[in-house]
Chain A
Amino acid sequence: MEYIKNRNTLRRAMVLVAAIVSVACTEAAQEAVAEESAAVSSRQAPRYDDGTIVFDYQAGEQGYWGRPSTSSLVEAGVEVEFNEDGLLADINDALNVAPFMPWSLALYKYRQANGLKDDPVKACISPAGPRHIHDKGGFRIIQDRNYERIYIVFGGGNMNWRVIYMDGREPPNPEEVTGTYYGHSTGHWEGDTLVVNSSGFIDRFWFSNGGLPHTRALELEERFTRSDYDTLEYEVTIDDPHTYTRPWKSEWTLEWIDGEIQEHFCEDHRQE
């Protein structure tokens, strides 16, 4: 009987020790994970010798920007549910996506209601505008400091690129230029944020995967901030007085992905 009592005492003691060890191990593991993640997120954004932020990879590295934190363009602060193609979970949320004019809301709802079947991207028309920053293919921001230009090279769509002039030139009058998919972009720095102003767009593309309309009056202000090594904050202000009742803003973040942008060629799937 004494033996059994001692054995029970011993068993309880062992359970207690095991519990203490388990808790200690769990806490240690949690601390390790916390330290590791802190180490990752505390990696600072790389800089050139003059302190300018580097958006692309440096010698010996590889990587690009991708995995956007949102799946479609929507006014900042508005909560609506989209699928990964930009289709609203509830068509009644359309009104909240942006400050539409009546015609643009009607057209947006029309596109949503027919399942985005008319999306020009399906005919290999470039996504263009902020939509490219949402594209699954990702992108690189390559700073050509000799020629004072920045190139954004896209992995999605048709693997296009756009040019941002950083040489202080005045943007052309949008009324006097032939519109293009990427418009004419000029950039400057505000602290560590790259600010890009673009105008001179054509309206042959959808600037969001959900089918937000625009006209040739569209003007964009984009702000790129590499807040740490692995995070790119993107903010875009959309100003199209022919389509929206006021300028409005959308924002999301992107992750630094270790690797190379994959080769991608667009194919026309409209007949499938």
Chain B
Amino acid sequence: MRQVFLSGLFLAALMVPLLGGAQEGFPLDGTWRGTWQDQSGTEHMVVMVMAWDGRSITGIINPGRNAVPIDRAELALENWFITIEATDKDGKPITAQGILKNIGAYNREVMGTWTIAGESFPFRMVRE
């Protein structure tokens, strides 16, 4: 089990610089780190790695042993509103939505909601 965990960490460490590092190109490209907070006040860490391939936004959520692929991601250009859909390891649907702020800044951010299995919670992530 420990070996699987360490392998996951190693893969995550490899993936982050591989897919991340972008700054001035497609606004969602890169590695994002943030949290969503459940009703008890517990913060759940989220890491997202996204990349634009010229046609669609691809990526993963929480690289490592709990990684899940992004099923669909959209950026509405008129208001910089993003929608990211995925399915967690337990099969629950996840939707992260929010407004992209400080687009020109190195550490731009997304603030919005994290919806999992029909319940919505406050969510924020910042690009690294």
Interface of A toward B, CB cutoff 8 Å? 101-103, 106-107, 110-111, 114, 117-118, 120, 202-206, 213-217, 241-243
Contacts and interface: CB of A to CB of B under 8 A. Distances in A.
A203 B54 contact: no
Nearest to A241: B54
Interface stretch (B19-27, B33-41, B117-125): B19-27
A117 B103 CA distance: 11
Q: Which size class do B's interface residues fall under?
A: 10 to 19
Main secondary structure of the interface of A (DSSP, over half): loop
Contact of A215 (B52, B75, B103, B104): B52
Most central of B26, B29, B78 by chain A CB within 10 Å? B26
B77 A213 contact: no
Interface of B: 21-27, 29, 52-54, 75, 77-78, 103-105
A242 B105 contact: no
Nearest to A201: B25
B25 A243 contact: yes
B24 A103 contact: no
Given A118-B105, A202-B21, A107 B27 contact: yes
A205 B104 CA distance: 12
A239 B90 CA distance: 43
B21 A215 contact: no
Given A215-B26, A217-B54, A242-B26, 8 more contacts: A107-B27, A120-B23, A202-B21, A204-B23, A213-B25, A214-B25, A215-B29, A216-B22
B104 A203 contact: no
